């Protein structure tokens, strides 16, 4: 994933809102609805969850909270880790922390788990696709990274390679989530393999490019592409 793609987070949060702020906000909110819907569908497919959602599921079972509410709580716990990393949240960060969990719980409450394996596979694939497209919209809005992405880019700013930071964090949460009872399966592997190529295409296609040229020396690569 080394191809250079537009990097919407380089512009300041205030500058982003001043540049088509309503359009950015609508795209961010809509993208997070798709993302949360995708998370909920993968949960209901019961074929294995992405690493962070394995943790969310195990955490929810441990504390006795619904899946989406545990996801929201995890988001704010992760945001506390931003403090020593000197990361600053944007509007998109806060929307991400709340909206994905709310939408996921709605999907879980209203979409039953199918018995047929074919339907479960279709539900899993649809969920992964929605997460990929939703990521393109919300990341491309340029209103701030999600809590988990910000944690990894914060570690990168302290000298870690982004690929190493992402792998280390996701392996750790996957292992903890599995020990807590989260679902690991074929869906976990499929997500890990396909989500990168999907997001690599959706972010450039759905990003709102900043008005005017980028500042001299700006790095236009997204950190999650390394």
Mean pLDDT of 18-27: 84
Residue 193 domain-assigned? Answer: yes
Residue 215 domain-assigned? Answer: no
Range from 15-29, 131-145, 196-210 carrying the lowest mean pLDDT: 15-29
* Average pLDDT along the chain: 86
Residue 113 domain-assigned? Answer: yes
Query: pLDDT at residue 185 above 50?
Result: yes
Query: pLDDT at residue 18 above 90?
Result: no
Cα distances from 64 to residues 85, 111, 192, in angstroms, run 30, 21, 27
* Containing structural domain, residue 81: 13-206
- Distance CA(70)–CA(81), nearest Å, equals 17
Neighbours of 44 (CB within 10 A): 20
Name the pTM for this structure: 0.84
The pLDDT tens digits of the residues spanning 60-97 come to 999 999 999 999 999 999 999 998 888 888 899 999 99
Give φ, ψ of 141 to 5 degrees: -70, -20
Angle at the Cα of 117 (from 116 to 118), degrees rounded to 5?
Answer: 90
The pLDDT tens digits of the residues spanning 26-37 come to 999 999 999 999
The pLDDT tens digits of the residues spanning 116-163 come to 999 999 999 999 999 999 999 998 898 988 999 888 878 877 888 777
Mean pLDDT of 98-113: 97
Residue 4 domain-assigned? Answer: no
Length of the chain: 226
- Distance CA(60)–CA(66), nearest Å, equals 6
- Distance CA(185)–CA(17), nearest Å, equals 40
Query: pLDDT at residue 6 above 80?
Result: no
Residue 223 domain-assigned? Answer: no
Structure tokens belonging to residue 32: 């997070």
For tokens 């988990």, the residue is 148
Neighbours of 59 (CB within 10 A): 22
Q: What's the structural domain count of the chain? A: 1
Cα distances from 50 to residues 62, 159, 195, in angstroms, run 18, 26, 10
């Amino acid at each position: 994933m080394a191809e250079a793609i537009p990097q919407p987070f380089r512009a300041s949060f205030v500058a982003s809102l001043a540049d088509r702020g309503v359009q950015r906000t609508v795209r961010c909110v809509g993208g997070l609805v798709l993302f949360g819907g995708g998370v909920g569908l993968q949960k209901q497919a019961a074929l294995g969850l992405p690493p962070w959602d394995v943790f969310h599921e195990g955490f929810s079972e441990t504390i006795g909270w619904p899946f989406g509410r545990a996801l929201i709580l995890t988001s704010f716990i992760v945001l506390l880790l931003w403090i020593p990393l000197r990361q600053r949240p944007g509007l998109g960060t806060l929307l991400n922390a709340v909206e994905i969990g709310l939408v996921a719980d709605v999907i879980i409450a209203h979409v039953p788990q199918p018995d047929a394996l074919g339907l479960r596979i279709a539900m899993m694939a649809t969920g992964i696709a929605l997460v990929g497209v939703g990521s393109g919209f919300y990341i491309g809005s340029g209103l701030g990274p999600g809590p988990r992405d910000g944690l990894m880019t914060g570690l990168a700013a302290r000298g870690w390679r982004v690929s190493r930071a992402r792998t280390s964090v996701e392996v750790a949460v996957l292992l903890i989530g599995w020990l807590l009872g989260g679902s690991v399966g074929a869906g976990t592997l499929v997500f890990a393999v396909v989500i990168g190529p999907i997001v690599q295409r959706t972010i450039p296609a759905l990003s709102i490019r900043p008005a005017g040229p980028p500042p001299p020396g700006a790095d236009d690569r997204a950190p999650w592409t390394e």
